[in-house]
Amino acid sequence: MNSVTCFVGLDYHQDSVQVCVLDGQGEQRLNRACRNDWRAIQDAVAEVGPVQAAGVEACGGSADLAQELRDHAAWPIDLAHAGYVAKLKQSPDKTDFSDGRLLADLTRVGYLPKVWLAPAYERDLRALVHYRQGLVDQRRTVKLRVGALLREQRAFPPEGPGPKKQRLRAWTGLWLIWARTAAPLSAPGRWILDRLLDQIAPLDRQIRQVEQQLHKLTAHDPRVVRLRQEPGIGPVTAWVLRAYVGPFERFRNGKHLSRYCGLSPCNRSSGAKRADAGLIQGCNKLLRATLIQAAHRLIRTVPRWRSLALALSRRGKKRCVIVAAVGNRWMRGLWYRHLPTPA
């Protein structure tokens, strides 16, 4: 058997995988397409030698392949951040041949921009969280269209019961009765409104169903149970954190975790010039949006964070900056509170 030490780069596609193998000196020993199956890839590389390290870009399906190679072929394989890999390319041309070689070379020299290879449980949880968020986005879009239609036809809800004489709050029971039966709309407007409102109930039902699946999947997850015990944290925030953060011990410190969540300011410095440019962009947008919503809730319900928000407000900080600062500090503390206790 050949004893050449191999560094492998895999350019993933749905039907095939471009497999590039370099030796320790960077000489190419193999670069060809293989069937998208871990056995075929293992057999192709085995003809060259043992695998010292391997890398594959993170994309749809590549995590499953990497997990199979790690579990069944015992490969030391890592996922690569696709965005950072694209920035490292020195040519505008894109071919499977060159992409596979670049991944293999980055793996060989230790410059592969690694991302976490989430286990199957976290990937399933992410799929459910994404599906729920898609349904929530659909429902929000329908509600926005209803509001736009009512404003366009100047159909304003009446005053509600009580001494304050305020207009009916949108999407309450009384408001829905008014919208269904008494809103002054044209005949086409009424036809559109009825059909938009008919879409809300099925979406509500589907959201409840996927939340039942999330409850079932995480019922015995100790990390979700501990997150639910945090003041101001509900099930959705716990699910999103569990899906995208995973084990807290994989982060070096709380600052590292907060930056991963997109809650740290982005530094824009050059020479003697120092400036912040808002929050960093290289993060999961759903995770950050969920934590920003959680920070709003913490400011309303937890005295410690309400006091911090008031102190920052007195210093002239904008509301968006205050909320991000609360989320940043809360995540840093969460890292310390959720580290596993030593045996």
Angle CA 22–79–112, to nearest 5: 55
C-alpha distances in Å from residue 108, one per residue of 9, 26, 62: 9, 8, 20
What pLDDT does 270 receive?
62
What pLDDT does 266 receive?
72
> For residue 38, is pLDDT > 90?
yes
- Give the E-state strand segments of the chain in sequence order: 6-12, 16-22, 28-35, 51-57, 77-80, 114-115, 265-267, 276-279
Question: What DSSP line would sit under 5-44, residue for residue?
Answer: -EEEEEEE-SSEEEEEEE-TTS-EEEEEEEESSHHHHHHH
Kindly report, residue by residue over 54-109, the tens digit of the pLDDT.
Answer: 999 998 899 999 999 999 999 999 999 988 888 887 777 778 898 999 999 999 99
Beta carbons of 54 and 30 less than 8 angstroms apart: no
The backbone region for 259, taken as left when phi is positive above 0, alpha when psi lies in -120 to 50, beta otherwise, is alpha
What pLDDT does 343 receive?
44
**From CA 11, how far away is CA 89, in angstroms rounded?**
14
Identity at 84, one-letter amino acid code:
Y
What pLDDT does 95 receive?
86
Question: What band does 162 get if pLDDT is binned at 50, 70 and 90?
Answer: low
Beta carbons of 76 and 6 less than 8 angstroms apart: no
Domain ranges of the chain: 6-115, 120-218, 224-337
**From CA 192, how far away is CA 187, in angstroms rounded?**
9
Nearest Cα neighbor of 242 from 267, 262, 225 is 225
- Domain spanning 6-115, CATH class: alpha beta
Kindly report, residue by residue over 120-139, the tens digit of the pLDDT.
Answer: 999 999 999 999 999 999 99
**From CA 172, how far away is CA 316, in angstroms rounded?**
36
What pLDDT does 204 receive?
96
Residues in the chain: 343
Unique residue bearing structure tokens 């670049």: 102
The answer to which of 39-43, 141-145, 231-235, 265-269 has the lowest mean pLDDT is: 265-269
